[in-house]
Amino acid sequence: MKNDDNDKRQAVNAPGLVPVNCEFQLEVLEKLGRLEAKVDMIVGNGQPGRMRLAEDRLWALERNDIRRNVYDRIVTAAIAFAVSAVITLHDHFLPK
């Protein structure tokens, strides 16, 4: 086993090349594989990924928020109109 590691290091450390640690290369490749798997999970691999699902949910929330703002403005306008009418007709309804 130890000889195999030495052979790998000698192959990597060929004359004229910068010496590289084989363990470091394996660690980097392992991390790169995990990163690739995570990116595939987020973006989606032929099917909707998490980002697509999050975008769809956000779009639905924005649409509902716009609709709710319209309803809130209508209700606020109706309340303001009712209060203004009561204030305006206050003297008309009270006997003198």
pLDDT tens string 66-80: 889 999 999 999 999
For CA atoms 31, 33, 36, 40, the dihedral sign is negative
Under 8 Å between Cβ of 42 and 51: yes
Give CA separation, 34 vs 23, 30, 91, in Å: 17, 6, 77
pTM above 0.75, yes or no: no
Neighbours of 9 (CB within 10 A): 14
Same domain, 87 and 55: yes
In this prediction, residue 6 has a pLDDT band, given cuts at 50, 70 and 90, of: low
Same domain, 31 and 55: no
Same domain, 53 and 34: no
Same domain, 60 and 31: no
- Domain total in the chain: 2
Q: Radius of gyration (Cα) for the chain, nearest Å? A: 35
Same domain, 34 and 53: no
Q: 12 is in which domain, residue-wise?
A: 1-43
Same domain, 38 and 54: no
